[in-house]
Structure 1
C-alpha cells in the first residue's frame, strides 16, 4: 500500500524520498585524504551517519563530507555549511570570550565573584571565582538541571540575569570550591551575569564582536529558544524512520552552557585561530588549556586529554557537545593541529561518533599517495 493511501502528506513523502536517497549516495566531498573519504563514506553507508565532518592536517583541511538530510520533511540535503547546535562546546566558546575580557583587564580569574556581582550571597560569593566556575570546580549545585527535570516547560522561560542567578545558581555549596568536581550548568548562569555586567554588552554581542566578525565565521552564532528558528540550521531528529523531530529549547539565561551554533568549517577556523594565537595570547591559551581537574581532564570550559593517535600518545583539545538530537565533536592535536570535527542531528550514539573520529584522526597522519 502506498504511504499516500494512509494519509502521509505529500511534502513528507517528497522529503522522505530525498532523505533516503541522500543517505544512499556519497555526500558532498572535498578530499585530499583518500582514506578519510573511504572511512567516512563506509561509515555513512553502513551506520546511517547523518551529518557533516571535516579532517585537517597541520591546520589545513584535507577532507570534508556531508551525508544525509538537514531537513527530512523538506528534503534539504546536508552541505558543509549546514549549521548545528554545538551543545556543551558552547561552554568552551564562553571560556574563550571570558579570557578575552581577562586580557582586556575587565576580569580576573581568581577574584571573588562578589567583586563583579555585589548582590550575590556574600558567604559563598567570597569563595567563588571564575576559575572555579568555568572548571566546574565551584561547588555551586546544579539547581537548573534539577528544576527542569521536575518541570520541562521551564526551558521555554525567559529571565534576566539577576533572577536566573538567584533562582538557579545561588544554592548552598555542595563542596568547598577547588576541592571536587561537578558538571553543574548553573555555573554558567553566573558567568553570563558577570561578563555582561563588566562589559556592558549582551553575551550575543560579545561573541559577534570578539569572534564571529573578526574571524569571518559565516555559519556560527548564538541562539536561544528552539534552534529551528536559525536560518540554515539542521533540524534535530530522534529518528528518520519514522521521521520524529526532537527539539530541546535553550533558555536565554543558559546561552553560555548550550546556546552556540556552528558548522564544521567554522569550528575548524575558530580552533585554528585560537591555537595559533589569533584570538588569545599564548599565555591565555596556556591558561585556557591548563587542566584543573585531572580526573576529569577538565580545563576551562573544555577538556584536554592524552589519546592514542596514529600509534603514539598525543595531547588533544577534546570538545564534545550534545543537546536534544544534536551531537558535535571537535578534536585537535595540540602539537601539530591535526583535527577532526563531526556534527550529527539524529541522536547518534556518541561512542560510535568517537570511533569514527579516532579512525579519521589516525588517517590524517598517513602520508598522501605519490601522484
Structure 2
C-alpha cells in the first residue's frame, strides 16, 4: 500500500512536479502521427503519451466548450465512462487486501437481503468481469421513463429496483456489459465499509494515487468544469445525466495526466499487492479479453506480441482510451468529446504504441 509519504517519494523518483505531473518541464508537442490523425479525422480532445509515469507528449486540440468559447487544454477534464470500472476494480482489490471483501464469496455473503437463489451463485469476481448473468433492468426502465435518470436512489434501493432479476445465463459462462453489475458492486462496497462508495474510492484509491482532477461530480468548486459533450455533424451539444449510483460503472471525470499517473502507479509500482495485480491482469471473459474492470489487449509490435492494460470509455459524446504496455511501461491516453468512433481511437492508440493494426474481423 502506498501512503501519502510514499506517494511523494514516488513522485520525486519519477521527477514529477506536484503541480503538473510533468517531468523536466512541459512535454513535447510535436508528433507527426498525431498531427496526421488530427488533420484526417478532425479530432478534438487530448492526446498524451508517456513512459514510467513521465509524460513525453501532451497536446490539446479544439474546443472543450464551443458555446462558451473555451478551448481544450491538457488539464481539461473529460467524462471517462467505463474507465471508471477500472478505478472501481482497483478499489475493490484494495478492499480485498484489507479483508473487507472476497472476490469469490457470493453476493449474499455481503448483501444479506439479496435474493438467495441467484445471490448464492454470483460472486464479486463475476460482477467485476461482467459475467454475472444478472440482466440490467436500469436502461429499459429509463427508456420507458426518462425521469429515471433524474431520480437519485441509494445503492441498496438501486439493486432492488434494477439488479435483482432472474439470471439470463449461468454465472461465468458469458459476457454481458450490464451497468447493474456495478450497482451491486457499489452496494457491496458500502455494506462492507459502512461508508459511501465515492468516499471509499477517494480515500483508498484516488487520494493515495494523487489523482487530484478525478471525481464523479461534474460541477465542483474545487475542480474545473469538464469539457462539454457533442455528437453529430455539425456537432450538437448533448445533455449529460449521471446518477450517483452510476459512478462505479461509468460516472467519473478525469484528466489525461491523472490517468497516465494512475496506469503507471497501479501497474508498475506495487500500489496493489502482487496477488491483486495478478487478478487485475487475469482475463476472466476470454471472448472479450476482459479481466476485472478492463481488458488485456495483445499488441503486435516489431513482430512480437506485447500485452497491455486497455480501458476505454464511451458515453454521450465522450470517448476515451487508456492503454498501458506491461513490458516497457509506456502509456497512451486519448480523451475526446465529439463522439468519435471508439474503434478509430483504439487504432490511433495502436499507432502511437507502434503496433500493427489487428487483423480485420
TM-score by length of 2: 0.86
**1:236 CA drift (Å):** 0.7
Bigger radius of gyration: 1
- Name the residue aligned to 2:237: 245
Relative to structure 2, which stretch is displaced further, 202-211 or 118-127? 202-211
Question: Secondary structure of 1:327's partner?
Answer: strand
Aligned match for 1:156, one of 127, 150, 155: 150
Question: Secondary structure of 1:139's partner?
Answer: coil
Aligned match for 2:277, one of 251, 261, 285: 285
Residue 174, structure 1, aligned to residue 192, structure 2: no
Counting only pairs closer than 5 Å after superposition, residues 158-237 of structure 1 correspond to structure 2 as 158-223=152-217, 227=218, 231-237=224-230
- Name the residue aligned to 2:342: 350
CA RMSD of aligned residues (A): 1.8
Structure 1 CA distance for aligned equivalents of residues 305 and 180 of structure 2:
34
Preserved contact between residue 161 and residue 193 of structure 1 (Cα < 8 Å): yes
Preserved contact between residue 268 and residue 329 of structure 2 (Cα < 8 Å): no
**1:277 CA drift (Å):** 3.6
- Number of equivalent positions: 328
- Name the residue aligned to 2:122: 128
Preserved contact between residue 90 and residue 205 of structure 2 (Cα < 8 Å): no
- Name the residue aligned to 2:13: none
Aligned match for 1:43, one of 14, 37, 62: 37
Counting only pairs closer than 5 Å after superposition, residues 261-340 of structure 1 correspond to structure 2 as 261-340=253-332
Structure 1 CA distance for aligned equivalents of residues 79 and 122 of structure 2:
29
- Name the residue aligned to 2:104: 110
Gaps of 5+ in 1: 1-28, 364-371
Structure 2 CA distance for aligned equivalents of residues 221 and 350 of structure 1:
23
Preserved contact between residue 299 and residue 350 of structure 2 (Cα < 8 Å): no
- Name the residue aligned to 1:99: 93
Aligned match for 2:134, one of 134, 140, 144: 140
Structure 1 CA distance for aligned equivalents of residues 104 and 260 of structure 2:
30
Structure 1 CA distance for aligned equivalents of residues 197 and 135 of structure 2:
23
Distance 1:355 1:179, change over 3 A: closer
Counting only pairs closer than 5 Å after superposition, residues 10-89 of structure 1 correspond to structure 2 as 30-31=27-28, 34=30, 37-89=31-83
Preserved contact between residue 222 and residue 260 of structure 1 (Cα < 8 Å): yes
Structure 2 CA distance for aligned equivalents of residues 150 and 312 of structure 1:
49
Structure 2 CA distance for aligned equivalents of residues 307 and 150 of structure 1:
42
**1:312 CA drift (Å):** 2.3
**1:42 CA drift (Å):** 2.4
Structure 1 CA distance for aligned equivalents of residues 194 and 180 of structure 2:
21
Gaps of 5+ in 2: 1-25, 356-361
**1:45 CA drift (Å):** 2.5
